[in-house]
Structure 1
Amino acid sequence: MKKLAWLIVSPLFASPLCAADLMQVYRTAQDNDPTFAAARSVLDAGREKAPQGRAGLLPNLSLSGNTTWNDNEISQHGGGTLAKPRYNSNGYQLTLSQPLFRWQNWVTYDQAKIQVVQAEVNFTQARQDLILRVAQAYFDVNYATENLKAVKANKSAIGQQLESAKKNFEVGTATITDTHEAQARFDLASAQEIAAESDLEVKQHALAAILGKEPGLLAVVRKDAPLTPPQPNDMGQWVAAAEKDSLAVQVQQANADIAARELDKQRAGHYPTLDLVANKGYSKSFLQTYGGAYDTDFQNIGLQLNIPLFQGGLVVSRQREAAANRTAAESSLEATRRGAALSARQYYLGVVNGLAQVRALQAALVSSQSALESNKLGYEVGVRINIDVLNAENQVYVTRRDLAKATLDTLMAQLRLKAAVGALGDDDVAQINSLLDPSSAQ
């Protein structure tokens, strides 16, 4: 009997305990988010730039062969046929080429190494974007749930006031106006409930699109969760860090470096090239002078020098193109630095102002609850009317909802501030996760 009772009661206790927290949702997203999976494949592709660039400095070995059937007729001018040689000529050649001086190949290798670094930074940025997308979707579900709870509670309170107003009107202690006001508020609350339910469903689907499955129950932020100011608590330091270490800045810096080396590579079009070339092969052919087919084995080694003189202005045009692209890349780098600085200022202020707003709303919630109790008491003794109680109740729910939003927005601003300086990682997710209460699920 005890076992049966436990089987009946245990799901009631298990549901909150099974609520997923932010870290669990993030780990699931790492495995299932298609955007992050694509970024991982792009990283693998980007790493191949290094061996491709290195290949231009290494030996090139090739093997070629040929076979030809010849059916010839040799005749004297004005005379008869001298010979009709029919024979097969064939051969093969093994060629080894080792670049000794090709400056453009060295520049290409330098570019390839920068491209690999750029691919690594892009993947780090994709990981940061995943954290921000998951956290935003997670908090959106939290807020939508909190909003729905507030709307439902407000509707329930208005419903009670509506019933009370109807009874008071029936016994003659209240006017019909109280009933109409309560009915109007109740109808409005019903419409708000429908909108809140729809919004929650949309937010849940947005999170599911990242996870590849329904998110289920989610842990919520603890009521007493401590929100801390940015460290260091100096906007100037965050701005300086963003201008230097922002991942977007690092990507653009790599683009500028690649563009600068591209100009060097195009200049190398004027430089001579020197290669070591070695051949080994065999050929079989017909020599009329000696009247038959002969085999030839050959092998040689030497240096091949190529000095470009004029290519129709192609090299000079490519230099101008590369110079313009380098200028454009440098301008984009400066624009990215300014954007990173602006983002750092914006999110720093978002954290600082968010903390102040949370403290103000916490105080406002206490005041609103006190005001509600006072209005209820006043209504009972006849110094307050029904609309006063309805307004006080609505103010409590609105303040509670706004407090939840301010808290979640502040946490997101903290994450975005770390991302602005390129420092957002799993440790930051764990820190936010420590503020959640898995036993209080939504």
Structure 2
Amino acid sequence: MAKAGKYVTLGLALLLAASALPGHAQASRQPTQDLLQIWQMAIQRDPIFAASQAGRNAEQEKIPQARAQLLPYVTADTVAELNDRRRISGLNNSNSDRRALWALTLTQPIIDLSAWGGLKRAEYIASLADVAQANAYQDLILRVSQAYFDVLAAQDTLRALRAEKAAVETQLRAARQGFELGSTTIADTYEAQARLDLLNAGELQAENALQINQDELARLINERPGQLAELAPGTELPGPNPNRLSDWTHQSSNASLTVAQADLAAKIAEKQIDIAKSQHYPRLSLQAQTGSASDRGLYNTDGGPRSLNSSIGLQLSIPIFTGGEISSVVREQTSRLQQARYELENAKRQAVQSTQQHFSGVTSGLAQIKALQAAEKSSQASLQANQTGYEVGVRINIDVLNAQQQLYETQRSLSRARYDTLMSSLRLKASSGILTDQDIVAINQLLTDRPS
């Protein structure tokens, strides 16, 4: 009867520990938020992503600005003058006249290689902004997923610590009762009390970590997250598809967004050389002008003589010597092109290295999950055996405490491994440039409401 009573007490303690989790009492009243809902809020509210959108829109304006250098432009000029001439001696003999004129000028560039190069450069800059926006989109997916899983991991850690704490409290009560009955020594009580004190400190740290992770998620969606859908125990996580590293590395070296950005940066640097060289070439433009002038005053109402002049012609400008500036700019841009090409090569190598790392993270993570699941079953069997041995007197108190600690540490490691594996799968796709919101939908289907 004593043995059965202690197991009942242990079960009640575990149940109380589970019910003591934050938000448990409101679980039936609070709607559960899943990863897809959090993502939809973040894409509308995250300031970093909004800033990238604004930056992308600003860079798109480079194209019409560059195109304007090839289109005709019209200027209007007007002058109003008052001339007062006086003799030096006495300053009393003066002669004054007024003059007004206006001119309307039309200029149409005909040959301007620098402007054409500037238009092509603007198109590259706009494309670079599009890639940067796509990169920010992928980055938001990773940041939202990481923050979401960090909250779940912190909840699992706190839940396991409280369950372990409840089990140790039960063991402490058993040790005290055994000491009062004379069947155990005071050392059993001290051992259980020391373990409980450590768990109390760990619980405070876990609560703080949960608070910090919730704050990070709240920063993304601009509100406190509610009850989150969780990854059910035993959920089978998908492996990489295709399951060949060579396919992923080939994809990343050609389609990674970081590689695309570096490639466009090299093209921009190459076009800068063409623009610099075009400063040596002549420029031809059509210019037409019309205007009138009056030498009878600004407010002449007598209908005095006026002139109306119109002209049209071609203007040719040939740079002859600029002090060596153009040659210096060409050398500068040539060096910058070499720099951009080295950075492109580094981006390709970095993309391949990141792909290898995340592919290994997924495959090894799946293997680690299986190993930890087996370890969890073994730890549960070990704890049950040690508890039984303690009841019959063949195991001591520290054996039970160590078995409890091993079980709950295994559960915490298993929880962390599952979330890390999911994040590695997302980062693997991001390094290959194929991460989309459909991956959020796929992971969201693995989540479920935690039962009350």
- TM-score, structure 2 as length reference: 0.90
**Pick aligned residue for 1:183 from 177, 193, 200:** 193
Q: 1:226 matched to which residue of 2?
A: 236
Quote how far apart the aligned CAs of 1:424 are: 0.7
What secondary structure does 1:213 align onto?
Answer: coil
Q: 1:435 matched to which residue of 2?
A: 446
Q: Distance in 2 between matches of 1:294 and 1:327?
A: 65
Q: 1:13 matched to which residue of 2?
A: 28
Q: 1:28 matched to which residue of 2?
A: 41
Q: 1:440 to 1:52 in 2, by over 3 A?
A: farther
1:82-110 residue CA offsets vs partner (Å, 9 max, x unmatched): x9542221111111111100001000000
Q: 1:7 matched to which residue of 2?
A: none
Q: Distance in 1 between matches of 2:329 and 2:232?
A: 61
Quote how far apart the aligned CAs of 1:285 are: 2.6
Quote how far apart the aligned CAs of 1:208 are: 1.1
Q: What's the RMSD between the two structures over aligned residues?
A: 2.0
- Which amino acid in structure 2 is aligned with residue 345 of structure 1? Q
1:187-217 residue CA offsets vs partner (Å, 9 max, x unmatched): 1111111111111111111111111111121
Q: 1:213 matched to which residue of 2?
A: 223
Q: Distance in 1 between matches of 2:71 and 2:64?
A: 10
Q: 2:252 matched to which residue of 1?
A: 242
Query: Percent of aligned pairs with the same residue?
Result: 41
Quote how far apart the aligned CAs of 1:395 are: 1.2
Q: 1:408 matched to which residue of 2?
A: 419
Quote how far apart the aligned CAs of 1:440 are: 4.5
Quote how far apart the aligned CAs of 1:47 are: 1.0
Q: Distance in 2 between matches of 1:163 and 1:14?
A: 35
1:146-198 residue CA offsets vs partner (Å, 9 max, x unmatched): 00111111111001100100100110111111111111111111111111111
Question: Number of residue pairs matched?
Answer: 422
Question: What are the equivalent positions in structure 2 for 1:32-47 lying under 5 Å apart?
Answer: 32-47=45-60
Question: What are the equivalent positions in structure 2 for 1:128-207 lying under 5 Å apart?
Answer: 128-207=138-217
Q: Distance in 2 between matches of 1:214 and 1:95?
A: 62
Q: 1:70 matched to which residue of 2?
A: 83
Could you tell me whether the CA contact under 8 Å between 1:284 and 1:296 is conserved in 2? yes
Q: 1:419 matched to which residue of 2?
A: 430
Q: 1:5 matched to which residue of 2?
A: none
- Which amino acid in structure 1 is aligned with residue 215 of structure 2? H
Could you tell me whether the CA contact under 8 Å between 1:66 and 1:90 is conserved in 2? yes
Q: 1:89 matched to which residue of 2?
A: 99
Could you tell me whether the CA contact under 8 Å between 2:27 and 2:227 is conserved in 1? no
Q: 2:114 matched to which residue of 1?
A: 104
Q: Distance in 2 between matches of 1:293 and 1:216?
A: 84
Could you tell me whether the CA contact under 8 Å between 1:219 and 1:440 is conserved in 2? no
Q: 2:3 matched to which residue of 1?
A: none
- Which amino acid in structure 1 is aligned with residue 341 of structure 2? E
1:312-343 residue CA offsets vs partner (Å, 9 max, x unmatched): 00100000011011111111111111111111
- Which amino acid in structure 2 is aligned with residue 40 of structure 1? Q
Q: 1:12 to 1:353 in 2, by over 3 A?
A: closer
Q: Distance in 2 between matches of 1:222 and 1:93?
A: 79
Q: Distance in 1 between matches of 2:79 and 2:36?
A: 64
Q: 2:9 matched to which residue of 1?
A: none
Quote how far apart the aligned CAs of 1:144 are: 0.6
Q: 1:61 to 1:349 in 2, by over 3 A?
A: same
Q: 1:267 matched to which residue of 2?
A: 277
Question: What are the equivalent positions in structure 2 for 1:381-400 lying under 5 Å apart?
Answer: 381-400=392-411
Q: Distance in 2 between matches of 1:12 and 1:439?
A: 9
Q: Distance in 2 between matches of 1:153 and 1:23?
A: 30
Q: Distance in 1 between matches of 2:374 and 2:232?
A: 17
- Which amino acid in structure 2 is aligned with residue 186 of structure 1? L
- TM-score, structure 1 as length reference: 0.92
Quote how far apart the aligned CAs of 1:293 are: 6.4
Q: Distance in 1 between matches of 2:27 and 2:292?
A: 86
- Which amino acid in structure 2 is aligned with residue 270 of structure 1? H
Q: 1:115 to 1:170 in 2, by over 3 A?
A: same
Could you tell me whether the CA contact under 8 Å between 1:63 and 1:93 is conserved in 2? yes
Q: Distance in 2 between matches of 1:423 and 1:430?
A: 14
Quote how far apart the aligned CAs of 1:224 are: 3.3
Task: State the 4+ residue runs in structure 1 displaced beyond 6 angstroms.
Answer: none
What secondary structure does 1:224 align onto?
Answer: coil
Question: What are the equivalent positions in structure 2 for 1:282-431 lying under 5 Å apart?
Answer: 282-285=292-295, 294-431=305-442
What secondary structure does 1:343 align onto?
Answer: helix
What secondary structure does 1:242 align onto?
Answer: helix
What secondary structure does 1:299 align onto?
Answer: strand
What secondary structure does 2:75 align onto?
Answer: strand
Q: 2:263 matched to which residue of 1?
A: 253
Q: 2:10 matched to which residue of 1?
A: none
List runs of 5+ in structure 2 lacking aligned partners.
Answer: 1-24, 298-302
Could you tell me whether the CA contact under 8 Å between 1:220 and 1:440 is conserved in 2? no
- Which amino acid in structure 2 is aligned with residue 114 of structure 1? Y
Could you tell me whether the CA contact under 8 Å between 1:243 and 1:338 is conserved in 2? yes
Q: 1:144 to 1:12 in 2, by over 3 A?
A: closer
1:268-311 residue CA offsets vs partner (Å, 9 max, x unmatched): 01100000111111112369xxxx96411011110000111101
1:101-142 residue CA offsets vs partner (Å, 9 max, x unmatched): 000100000011111111111111111111111111111110
Q: 2:16 matched to which residue of 1?
A: none
Q: Distance in 1 between matches of 2:168 and 2:145?
A: 34
- Which amino acid in structure 1 is aligned with residue 397 of structure 2? N
1:54-94 residue CA offsets vs partner (Å, 9 max, x unmatched): 1111111111111011223589xx9x99x954222111111
Quote how far apart the aligned CAs of 1:414 are: 0.5
Could you tell me whether the CA contact under 8 Å between 1:33 and 1:210 is conserved in 2? yes
When structure 1 is superposed on structure 2, of 377-386 and 261-270 the one drifting more is 377-386
Quote how far apart the aligned CAs of 1:244 are: 1.0
List runs of 5+ in structure 1 lacking aligned partners.
Answer: 1-9
Could you tell me whether the CA contact under 8 Å between 2:256 and 2:433 is conserved in 1? yes
When structure 1 is superposed on structure 2, of 276-285 and 413-422 the one drifting more is 276-285
Q: Distance in 2 between matches of 1:200 and 1:109?
A: 52
What secondary structure does 1:375 align onto?
Answer: helix
Q: Distance in 1 between matches of 2:305 and 2:240?
A: 86
Could you tell me whether the CA contact under 8 Å between 1:154 and 1:394 is conserved in 2? yes
